[in-house]
Structure 1
Amino acid sequence: MACAALAVSLFVPASPAFAVSKEIVQLQTQVQQLQDAVARLQQSNDERMGVMKDLVQQSADSVNRMSLNIDTLQKQLQNRQQNQDTKLDQVSGQIQSLNDSIDEVKARLTRLEKLTQDIQNQQQSINANMPPAGGGIPDSVSTPPPANTPPPTVAPAPAKRGKPSAGTPMSEVVPAPQPNETAAAPAAPPVDDLYKTALGDYMGAKYQLASSEFADVVKSYPDHPLAGNASFYRGEIAYRGGHYQDAIAEYDKVIEQYADSNKVPVAHLHKGQALIALKQNDAGVRELRALIQRFPNSPEAMQARSKLSGMGVTVVPKR
């Protein structure tokens, strides 16, 4: 009995201890599982973060490449814009030179026509004063003509006022010059001569002299078409010298007083450029837009569009 009791006393306390150890083992197992899960999550997160970093880096590289490409494209566009502006300026200058040459040729042709007409008039006058064929100087002792023979035909004298002397036939009157005609101021040279001289000095870069000569054209022949050209070149001379206000005044004369002149489009263009040079950008933009609206297909309108584009301004105003 004693042995049995001892055996019971030994085994009874061991049962709770065994249960606690089992729970501890289970807890340790669960903790280990949690640690493994956390490790796996950490590894997964690290892998995902690595992938995200790679994606971010790739995106950053793509953005940088796109920025470089955009910068390159912008530089190319700017260079092309500058080249286009330069080419347009060159074309405009060439067209202007051609117009100047055409004006000079027209002036020469007009002068040649005048010289030809003068030569023809002189030839006709010589032919009219020549005696008829087979005639000669009449003999002083020849028989006088009959009374009913009409007087010989003489070339008409220039029509002037004058008083005949007493007893002088009206057919033999020599008109006396009027005092106001002898004292009259000399007339201005022909407009073509004035314009040709001024244009020649302009082409020879004698700008001060040419400006004065163009002013004489406008003063002497204000209603002649060449007066519009003369005002335009006075504006060009002022523009070259940096006198933009004076240039604008001359361009306005061309635009307002000589609306049919072929210089009107380029006067619009250069007026707009002069206003922009004076920092009056709004007025300059309005002038360029007016040029485009009035002469949409002209080379000057193309140059105005390019100028507005370079300024970042639309051709048509925004509403």
Structure 2
Amino acid sequence: MIPMRKSLIPLPAVAALALMLPAPPAHAVSKEMVQLQTQVQQLQDMIQHLQTSNDQSMGVLQHLVEQTADSVNRMSQTLNTLQQQVEAQNGQGGKVDQLSGQIQGVNDSIDEMKTRMAKLDKTLQDIQSQLQNIQSQPAGQQPAGQPGQPGAQPGNAQPGQPQAMGAAPAPQQPQAPPVDQLYQSALRDYTSARYDLASGEFGDVIKYYPQDDMAGNAYFYLGEISYRKGDYPTAIQNYDAVLEQFSGSSKAPAAQLRKGLAEIAANQKDAGIRDLRSLIQRYPQTPEAAQARSRLNGMGVRIVAAKPSAYR
């Protein structure tokens, strides 16, 4: 018999073969996944905290708006009382100007209250908008312009064309404050009788925001300042600016009344009577129309009824 030969595989070859076999798949959660879940949970907690803070802030602001609305209503009642006093002064033109100033002071306060209410409403809208933006942003997404974005972009210089180095930046033009802030500052100075300072601020409202409704109010108060200084021609020009450029302004009736009074004070009696009559025709139910009737009656001038027409 022929003896059988045993074929033996060397031990090193067996070890190398074992190393070449694929490793079993890992089923454990990676460290990166745990960190991502933690970050998502933190973001959700932040959103919940913002929601709670927003609810509290909105409650406080809503209360302030309600208080301001009550103040405006009380001022409106005071204005109606003053109007009745004006109507009772028919034939006593000397007291009309005094009552007119009181009514204008109440109107100024109402305007300031309305502006504050508008600011509170805008604050509420800004808070709601910020919260909506946070809630709608996907987790892990960075807002534009946040850290982590690439810095300076490479220049567009062509080969062989060196980029300019050390060029001085163009000087920035000074930016005007927001129109509401500028107008409120001017109104505070006006009500505090700081007329020179208020004139400059109202002038800035017109300069930087010539198309804004606040510019019409600024023209009116510039007219008031000139009227109180006895500069009737300048006052008439500013009142005219309200009537011609901002005919739909809430200040239009007061501007026409004050223009008529300024014309009478400047010995332009016919023009003043014409403007007061026009005021009564255009705005018959306003407190300003009641003051115009009182002044005309005090002057012994007949009030002619006619159809209201646009300001000439």
Pick the TM interval, shorter chain: 0.5 to 0.7
Q: 2:198 matched to 1:210?
A: yes
Q: 2:147 matched to 1:164?
A: no
Deviation sequence 1:53-79 (CA, Å, 0-9, x none): xxxxxxxxxxxxxxxxxxxxxxxxxx9
In the alignment, the residues of structure 2 paired with residue 125 and residue 157 of structure 1 have an alpha-carbon distance, to the nearest angstrom, of: 16
CA drift at 1:190: 0.7
Gaps of 5+ in 2: 1-87, 156-166, 306-312
Deviation sequence 1:65-97 (CA, Å, 0-9, x none): xxxxxxxxxxxxxx96455763x5455334322
Q: 2:88 matched to 1:99?
A: no
In the alignment, the residues of structure 1 paired with residue 227 and residue 154 of structure 2 have an alpha-carbon distance, to the nearest angstrom, of: 64
1:109 to 84, 104, 117: 117
Paired residue for 1:36? Answer: none
- Classify 1:80/1:108 alpha carbon distance in 2 versus 1 (closer, same or farther; 3 Å): closer
- Classify 1:109/1:81 alpha carbon distance in 2 versus 1 (closer, same or farther; 3 Å): closer
In the alignment, the residues of structure 2 paired with residue 225 and residue 120 of structure 1 have an alpha-carbon distance, to the nearest angstrom, of: 26
TM-score, normalized by length of structure 1? 0.55
2:291 to 303, 314, 318: 303
**1:111·1:193 contact (CA, 8 Å) conserved in 2?**
no
Paired residue for 1:277? Answer: 265
- Classify 1:213/1:119 alpha carbon distance in 2 versus 1 (closer, same or farther; 3 Å): same
Gaps of 5+ in 1: 1-78, 133-151, 167-178
1:231 to 210, 219, 222: 219
**Across the two proteins, how many residue pairs are aligned to each other?**
203
Q: Residue type matched to 1:273 in 2?
A: L
- Classify 1:262/1:313 alpha carbon distance in 2 versus 1 (closer, same or farther; 3 Å): same
Q: Residue type matched to 2:183 in 1?
A: Y
Over the aligned positions, Cα root-mean-square deviation in angstroms equals 3.3
Paired residue for 1:147? Answer: none
Q: 2:208 matched to 1:200?
A: no
Sequence identity (%): 52
- Classify 1:253/1:84 alpha carbon distance in 2 versus 1 (closer, same or farther; 3 Å): closer
Which stretch has the larger CA shift, 116-125 or 239-248? 116-125
In the alignment, the residues of structure 2 paired with residue 242 and residue 278 of structure 1 have an alpha-carbon distance, to the nearest angstrom, of: 9
**1:108·1:196 contact (CA, 8 Å) conserved in 2?**
no
TM-score, normalized by length of structure 2? 0.56
Larger Rg: 1
Bigger share in helix: 1
In the alignment, the residues of structure 1 paired with residue 285 and residue 121 of structure 2 have an alpha-carbon distance, to the nearest angstrom, of: 34
- Classify 1:274/1:190 alpha carbon distance in 2 versus 1 (closer, same or farther; 3 Å): same
